Structure 1
Amino acid sequence: MTEIRTPRLILRRWLDDDLVPLSEIHADPAVMQNVGDGRSCSLERTAEQIEAWEEEWDEEGFGMFAVELLGSGELAGAVGLSVADAPGEVADQVAISWLLGRAFWGQGYASEAAHATLEFALQDRGLDRVVAVCRTSDHASMKLLGKLDMRAEGTAQHPFHGHDVSVYGIDLTQYQA
């Protein structure tokens, strides 16, 4: 089982006990405003999402991690890698993304988890490049992408949701652990 430990977090595969806490995170409109179509997700949709993430782990050798607080065991959210399907500028490339519950914002958890995930992608999994896509209005994510040394590569319109997105990327030659 793939697991990464950081000073304060455990990044791990998904467990049955993660469904309810993740569905509570998915139900928060503030958390979901910059994710997908911006709408909250039901318990059933959250279960489908976890199942899809686990399938990607089995098929690709990477996926979305559950982010667990090392001290308490509490589920803080998700961070990880997926094969992007949109926009066309990054389709079929490996993308990094994250989602943390509102109670965990502003404490550096997203940055800590994303740094560990990027290192996992480029060093452990041997990927040559990782991309990221975020809404042009999502300044917190853009700030985190800067901390990851990912470079802005342009903007696009998301073909499924219609909003403008910023595209970022980093390749192995640019990465510094």
Structure 2
Amino acid sequence: MAELRTDRLALRRWRDSDLEPWAAMNADPEVREHLGDLLTRDQSDASVARFQADFDRRGYGWWAVEVRATGRFIGFAGLDPVDDGMPFTGVEIGWRLARSAWGQGYATEAALAVLAYGFDTLGLPEILAVTTSANHRSQAVMRRIGMTRDPADDFDDPTAPEGPLRPNVLFRIARGARDRHSRRNR
């Protein structure tokens, strides 16, 4: 499995030492605000087991993210095939960070590394991102990494209950658009 490195972050394989802070994130109502119910420790641990199995099976997925200078685990970022039953197909980028890591540019930095891996290593022609229509912080990251939204692509998540988690937005970026965005922002 490839480890991704940025100036400040390492995106790496999950470790047993990540389980406790990951569980704390999944029990934090602010972190889970746009994701649904809080997870129990068993559910949180099971998610890491799935992440590791996905990496073993297909060679990519959700990396654990740590701050290189301190080795502190701060969340995850990665790529995952779009779930069955959604009104579109493809590979989705995502991230989730502990509240203590918010507002420091880590999500954008990790997402740019993941985009590069998706386009340059996996050869993906396009990468998608999905979030609730109310999740303005994630939408801001999507725009910062060069993704665009067509309101015609917005949809109601068929897996979400009625309420604020159902209306979703879809952002996209094609390989060529990422290259143009990178050149403009140098």
Q: Which residue of 2 aligns with 1:170?
A: 173
**Structure 1: how far apart are the matches of 2:100 and 2:68?**
16
The alignment partner of 2:19 has SS state of helix
RMSD of equivalent CA atoms: 1.2
Q: How does the TM-score come out when normalised to structure 1?
A: 0.94
Question: TM-score with structure 2 length normalisation?
Answer: 0.89
Structure 1 residue matching 2:142: 3-state secondary structure: helix
What is the aligned partner in structure 1 of residue 6 from structure 2? 6
Other-structure match for 1:137 = 134
Shift of 1:116: 0.5
> Residue deviations 1:121-165, cap 9 Å, x none?
111111111101000000011111001111113210000114100
Secondary structure of 1:161's aligned partner: coil
Inter-partner Cα distance in structure 2 for 1:173 and 1:89: 24
Assess if the C-alpha contact under 8 Å between 1:13 and 1:66 holds in 2: yes
Q: Answer whether contact 1:81 1:97 (CA < 8 A) is retained.
A: yes
Once residues 43 and 26 of structure 2 are traced to their aligned partners in structure 1, the CA distance between those partners, rounded to angstroms, is 9
CA–CA distance in structure 1, aligned partners of residues 65 and 95 of structure 2: 9
Contact 1:86 1:159 in 2 (8 A): no
Q: Output aligned runs, 1:152-167, within 5 Å.
A: 152-153=149-150, 154-162=153-161, 163-167=166-170
Once residues 72 and 84 of structure 2 are traced to their aligned partners in structure 1, the CA distance between those partners, rounded to angstroms, is: 32
Alignment of 1:109 onto 2:106? yes
Whose Rg is larger? 2
Deviation (angstroms), 1:15: 1.1
On the 8 A contact 1:155/1:165 being kept in 2, the answer is yes
Match of 1:64 among 62, 65, 72: 62
Q: State the percentage of identical aligned residues.
A: 32
Aligned 8 A contact 1:87 1:156 in 2? no
Structure 2 segments unaligned to the other structure (5+ residues): none
